[in-house]
Structure 1
Amino acid sequence: MDIQQKKAVEFIRKAMDHTGLDATNLARRAKIAPSTLTRILNGTVKNTLSARTIIKVAEIAGLPNPLTVDEISPMKNIPLYGYVGAGDKVYPVESDGPIDHVTTPFSADIDVSALIIRGDSMFPVYWEGDMVFFSADRRMDPRDLLMTECIVYLKSGEVYIKQIHPSRTEGKYMLISYNAPPILEQEIEWASPIIFVDRRNRKS
């Protein structure tokens, strides 16, 4: 369990103590899926809480929002590396560095990067124009990210946002969308779980 996940567990337990509720009922009061909290407490997911979930839980528990300092949200500029395909085929920008820098709507660690979604195969969870944040330094083995929504870099060069599933062929994977046919028998160079989604600039 990494530092972010440990902080998420501590926050959930503190909220449970303040409300006297277990994780399932705390989630229901906050109007989020119970598995959102229980899976993090049980250590069965690789990602952590979104900023939106943290705010909801803090409000229900009567806790200060941990994403703010003196009631001002901490913002950081982080590198934007281009686009990620959600249906559209996208290749990384040929560059030694980011194409731009963007301000995060949450407290970001130093290694967080951003990509903008192109395509609608992951709708309604991810829309074209949404910005997704991930750790470019946290390049994980796809075997450790099965059933997880990730930024996926394929050995063929494309970059997608997909859910990773096992394939019949060893060393290859199936990439799952919410509303499009799966992409079969893919070799993944590396993958990184999504940390947060900024939906402020989505295309309606």
Structure 2
Amino acid sequence: MRHEDIWRAIDTMAAEHGLSPSGLARKAGLDPTSFNLSKRRTGDGRVRWPSTESLAKVFLATGAKLEDFTALVMGARAMPEARPRARNKIPLIGMAQAGAEGFFDDGGYPAGAGWDEVELPSTADANAYALSISGDSMQPVYREGDSIIVSPAAPVRVGDRVVARTAAGAVMAKLLSRRTASRIELTSLNPAYPDLHFATQEILWMHRIVWASQ
């Protein structure tokens, strides 16, 4: 049982209930920062583990079972017995608009009045949004006219397709190919476009793409 597997399971449990890790901690009656990334290692790099008391409070607050959590730790990507709140209407803007001011708040959640709505498969994430693809920079994975659902609550792992926003205001869909404490590497979906490398502080937020119409 590895340190990263335990925390991945907690992140997945939060996403299954439409919550961020801090939202899950708050729901369980814990300090909202209990599950933050900064709390998973000490200042000198040693790993920190969630306490059994914290996990017990999470199970009580969410109705999760120990065996479901264990399945997540062992590699399952979802909790089979979770019954999250579903949404069919998702806020939608064009990918080309996403870099403009006023569409997202500082945490990367949809904001403002400029969003349309589209009916797409349901998601438990109350802050999920959809982007309409334009141009060829994401071919052959996504083509012009496709819509993608993006979930801010879903845990992001290396190998996931993500939407990221830089401090300079650019919004892009890429594949997260490498992430360290200081660097983030994003691979272009279209091989004709260059891969990108950023210092961690240059990425304001990064959300996982969980569904696409094709």
Deviation at 1:111, TM superposition (A): 2.7
Q: What is the rounded CA distance, in whole Å, between the counterparts of 1:191 and 1:160 in structure 2? A: 10
2:103 counterpart of 1:92: no
- Once the two structures are superposed, the pairs formed by residues 35-46 of structure 1 within 5 Å of their partners are 43=75
Question: Mind listing any 5+ residue stretches in structure 1 that lack a counterpart?
Answer: 8-39, 49-73, 200-204
Structure-1-length-normalised TM-score: 0.51
Q: Is the 8 A contact 2:150 2:208 kept in 1?
A: yes
- Once the two structures are superposed, the pairs formed by residues 46-125 of structure 1 within 5 Å of their partners are 76-80=88-92, 82-84=93-95, 91-92=99-100, 94-95=102-103, 96-104=112-120, 106-109=121-124, 110-125=126-141
Q: Is the 8 A contact 2:174 2:186 kept in 1?
A: no
The aligned residue for residue 179 of structure 1 is 191
Percent identity over the alignment is 24
Deviations 1:100-136 (A, max 9, x none): 11111x2222332111112223222211111000124
Q: What is the rounded CA distance, in whole Å, between the counterparts of 2:102 and 2:16 in structure 1? A: 36
Deviations 1:14-52 (A, max 9, x none): xxxxxxxxxxxxxxxxxxxxxxxxxx995286xx6xxxx
Q: Are residues 146 and 184 of structure 1, via their aligned partners in 2, closer, same or farther at CA, if it must alter by over 3 Å?
A: same
Q: What is the rounded CA distance, in whole Å, between the counterparts of 1:108 and 1:169 in structure 2? A: 30
Q: What is the rounded CA distance, in whole Å, between the counterparts of 1:135 and 1:158 in structure 2? A: 18
Q: Are residues 44 and 188 of structure 1, via their aligned partners in 2, closer, same or farther at CA, if it must alter by over 3 Å?
A: farther
Q: Is the 8 A contact 1:83 1:115 kept in 2?
A: yes
* Corresponding pairs, count: 134
Q: Is the 8 A contact 1:162 1:176 kept in 2?
A: yes
Question: Mind listing any 5+ residue stretches in structure 2 that lack a counterpart?
Answer: 1-8, 18-71, 79-85, 104-111
Deviations 1:44-65 (A, max 9, x none): 86xx6xxxxxxxxxxxxxxxxx
- Once the two structures are superposed, the pairs formed by residues 3-18 of structure 1 within 5 Å of their partners are 3=13
Q: Are residues 5 and 184 of structure 1, via their aligned partners in 2, closer, same or farther at CA, if it must alter by over 3 Å?
A: closer
Q: What is the rounded CA distance, in whole Å, between the counterparts of 1:6 and 1:90 in structure 2? A: 26
2:175 counterpart of 1:163: yes
Q: What is the rounded CA distance, in whole Å, between the counterparts of 2:213 and 2:140 in structure 1? A: 14
Q: Which amino acid aligns with 1:152?
A: A
Structure-2-length-normalised TM-score: 0.49
Deviation at 1:191, TM superposition (A): 0.7
Q: Is the 8 A contact 1:173 1:188 kept in 2?
A: no
2:158 counterpart of 1:146: yes
Q: Which amino acid aligns with 1:76?
A: N
Deviation at 1:93, TM superposition (A): 5.2
The aligned residue for residue 34 of structure 2 is none
